Amino acid sequence: MSKKKSYEFFGTIGDIIELIKSLPPAPTQIFLQEWYEFVVEKNPVYYLHREFYHKITKLRARFDLGQEGKHGFEAKDHWHIYNPFTKGKIDLYFDEDGNPVKDGSDESHIIPKKNGDG
């Protein structure tokens, strides 16, 4: 039995890749013209992890703020793009090329380009 999706996606794999390639270094006012923020109440680490949905395709993304004093990906601002077709942890996210990747994998951490261009 496949895992039920928590939201509906409207688009193509090409749309996903285009959105991944256009991610800014951090959420901005311009970014929020195309995406809306999904706020989870009572999240104590809200300032470190922010979730967004694309207004048209409903693709879900999470921005993780890098933390001073941490190492690896925890020290860098990065994105996670949720795979709307996931069957579980084995293909929970997309890599920067739109390929399904495992939860916790290096490839699931998308470091945005400085200018937001892919």
Q: Does 45 map to a domain?
A: yes
Question: What's the predicted TM-score (pTM) here?
Answer: 0.81
Q: Does 97 map to a domain?
A: yes
Element (H, E) at 20: helix 13-21
Phi, psi (degrees; rounded to nearest 5) at 52: -140, 155
Q: Does 72 map to a domain?
A: yes
- DSSP-based three-state secondary structure for 96: coil
Q: Does 100 map to a domain?
A: yes
Instruction: Check residue 43 and give its pLDDT.
Output: 58
The count of structural domains within the chain is 1
Q: pLDDT by residue (tens digit) across 41-91?
A: 665 655 678 899 999 999 999 999 988 888 889 889 999 999 999 999 999
Q: Does 116 map to a domain?
A: no
Q: pLDDT by residue (tens digit) across 9-51?
A: 888 889 999 999 999 999 999 999 999 988 766 656 556 788 9
Domain boundaries, position 78 = 13-108
Give the residue carrying structure tokens 């939201």. Answer: 7
Q: Does 115 map to a domain?
A: no
